[in-house]
Structures are given as structure tokens and as C-alpha cells.
Amino acid sequence: MDIEKVREYFLSKPGASEDTPFKIAVPVFKVGDKMFGLINIHEPERSSINLKYSKEEIHEFRSMFEEIKPGYHMNKDNWNTVYLDGQLDEGFIKKLIDISYDLVFNSLTKKKQKEVKGCV
């Protein structure tokens, strides 16, 4: 899955927005002002994204897939880096993005969730 398709998928999520809050222009994707993903630019020759996961899932994904590593420059207990140049197919990468988005969306207040749903 190429980076532009990933970017489009991030932005297709309800209420998703793109921002560049860091000194380096790293594309960050948020829902309800909380980050659920970003596109890494530290390895231009190897495309990857960072996604948030629950503590129960995070190590399981790392142990099952060579393309999933502890989150680059992120809290290793909550974030994974997913490399896009390996064996993971597009549908599975989308599922991983969905998991991250849902985790962050579900952590929002009920009021914020309603606001996000109103964006659809």
C-alpha cells in the first residue's frame, strides 16, 4: 500500500484531520484532536506509519508480523510502527488503521464523539 493511499484512508475516517504539529513536517492524523496515526518520514526509502494499539494487542502484533515494530519515537507501550513494504496486504493495513482509529475515537468523551459523528 503506498503512502498516498494510506493518507487517503486516514482522511476517510469520520472526523479525521491532518496536521503537522512537530518541528519536522510529519503528517499526523487526528480524530477529536487526538492522534491516531502518523506517516513516518525518517526513512524515505522505507514507507511506514505509526498506529496506536491497546496494551493487550500491541505485543501480539509485533510477535506475529515482521513488518510491525515498536513505535519509532513514540511510547513503545501504546504505538507500533507498521512498515508498508513487506507482506502485509492493503486490507490488513486498513484493518490496523481502523483499530487505531477506533481505540482513539472510543477514548473521546461522549460529547466529542457526537461532534465527530456530526462531521459525517
Domain ranges across the chain: 3-113
pLDDT at 96: 95
Q: How confident is the model at residue 119 (pLDDT cuts 50, 70, 90)?
A: low
Q: How confident is the model at residue 29 (pLDDT cuts 50, 70, 90)?
A: very high
Domain 3-113 has CATH 3.90.1150.30: yes
Contact criterion met (CB below 8 Å) for 99 and 92? no
Instruction: Please give the share of the chain, as a percent, with pLDDT higher than 90.
Output: 57
pTM of the predicted model as reported, rounded to 2 decimal places: 0.91
| Residue 67 to residue 13: CA distance in whole angstroms | 23
Q: How confident is the model at residue 16 (pLDDT cuts 50, 70, 90)?
A: very high
pLDDT at 120: 52
- Quick one: average pLDDT of 69-80? 84
How many other C-beta atoms are found inside a 10 Å radius of the C-beta of residue 65?
17
